[in-house]
Structures are given as structure tokens and as C-alpha cells.
Amino acid sequence: MTRSRTFRNPLALGLAWVVVAFLVLPLLVVVPVSFTDQRYLSMPGEALSLRHWARVFGDPVWRGSILQSLCVGAVSALLATGLGTLCAIGSWRLGTRTAEIVRLVMLTPIIVPSVVQGMAFYRTFANLGLIDTYAGVILSHTILGLPYVVIIVSAALANVDVRLEQAARSLGASMGKAVTWVLVPLLRPAILSSFVVAFVVSWDEIVVLLFITSRRVHLLPRAMWDGINENVDPAVAAVATLLIAATATALVLRLTWAGFRSGKR
């Protein structure tokens, strides 16, 4: 009852919309900028132009960077999700002080500043010959995505009754089968969410890329950085608009699917 009255209050509702507008409207500035007829970042002058959009889809550099980011993000997210899920399940199953220390160590990529991470990756990968290689980028992005997977899956495991896994083991299931047939189905929403978060972390990472890549590996964040740093290319605004549209479409599809499932129930 209290929650219902709160959202029916016009003042509270208006304040909520003001906060939403404050957060969202600055992002929409890039939409008209992407249609500018100028050669630099600015609002459209005399007319609207699609030439910067044509460059994004026609230029091999932009197309290649998008495809590279998709591939690297998918592979690193899969690795981070698998390794992070196993780490969370193992720590949850042990439940000892050592497991807590392991969880704390897994959170260090979030605690350490990005510049320090970039320097550490550079010094380590230089000795291993992984500078400006896909293997090095995937490895670094996997490490950066691991903490988020561990946090999400560990939070989901807090609501899982350990007796379910014990019952499966008592009925003859091995540890692997108990995890595959009992825990994984219970953790499926958390695992899928972890994959999405790990993919976003890889897709958005720029600081580490500046340290460990140069010419051979050219992901989308690096391409956008070069477009802003060198000549303020309006194609960056077109890419940003494309990402906003993709994110909005994904959210609408997710809400539609959730509404469909709740209505079906």
C-alpha cells in the first residue's frame, strides 16, 4: 500500500522523471551530431547528412573494429563466466576462511585503478610476447570480467539450499553431475546475467587497450578513441548512436519477454 501511494504522488513521480531526464537526455545529444554535415563534431548546419553513417558501415576500419570487439567480447565473456562460476561454486561449497580469501583476491581487478592494471598487463605481456595480440586482449578482458561473475553468481548461491546438492551426492551423483544437473539450472539466470555483464566490460574497456594494443588489434573503443584524439571524427557520434539504439532495443525486447512470461504464468 505504501509503495502504491508513493508512485501515485505527482510530486514524487515528477521528481523521478526529472532524474531520468537528467541522466538520459545528455546521451541523446550525439544523435543529431551523428547527422551533421560538417567534418567535425557539431550540430547539423545547413542540412542533415548520412555520410558519417556511410563511413561507419563502409569503412573497413570501423567495420573491422566492431567485428573484432564482438568476437573478443564473446570469447572473453564465455571464459570469464565459466571460470567465475566455477570459482563461486567452489568457494560456496567449501565455506571456509580460505574461500573468503579467494573471493577477496578475485575482487582485486575492481579495486585496482585501471591505469595500474594497464601498466601491469603491459609489463607482464611484454615478457610473454602477448602485446598487440588477440590472446593478450582476451586474457586481460577475461581477468577484468571475472570479479563481476563471481559477485553475481555468489549472490545467487546465497539463496541456494546446500542440502539440494548434498541430496544429489547422496543419491550417487558425482560432483560434476551434481553441479551440472542441480546447481547450474538453479543458477541459470545469474550465469546469463554474468555473461552479459562480462561482455559489456570487454566491449567498453579502453584503458587497458591503450597499453597492450597498437596496430594489429583494433577494437571499437580504440577506434573511437583514435577518432576523438586525432581529428574529432563525427563517425564516433554515429557509432555512439548505434550503440544507444542497440541498448534500447535490447532493453525493450527484455521487458517484452518478461511481460510475456508473466502474462503466460
pLDDT digits (tens, 9 = 90+) for 62-100: 888 999 999 999 999 999 999 999 999 888 887 677 888
pLDDT at site 263: 67
Q: What's the CA gap between 156 and 144, in Å, rounded?
A: 20
pLDDT tens, 160-182? 877 877 788 788 878 778 888 88
Contact 141, 205 (CB under 8 A): yes
Specify the pLDDT at position 94: 79
Per-residue pLDDT at 8: 65
Backbone angles phi, psi at 57, to 5 degrees: -90, -20
How confident is the model over 128-162, as pLDDT tens digits?
999 999 999 999 999 999 999 999 999 998 888 77
Residue 119 DSSP SS3: helix
To the question of pTM greater than 0.75 for the whole model, the response is yes
DSSP 8-state secondary structure symbol assigned to residue 180: I
Q: For 127, how many CA atoms within 13 A lie in the half-sphere containing its CB? A: 5
Q: What percent of the chain has pLDDT over 70?
A: 94
Quick one: DSSP state of residue 41? S
Is residue 73 within 8 A of residue 203, CB to CB? The reply is yes
* CB-CB contact of 218 with 61 (8 Å): yes
The pair phi, psi for residue 244, each rounded to 5°, is: -65, -45
Please say if the pLDDT value at position 226 is more than 90: no
Distant-in-sequence, close-in-space partners of 12: CB < 8 Å, separation ≥ 6: 6
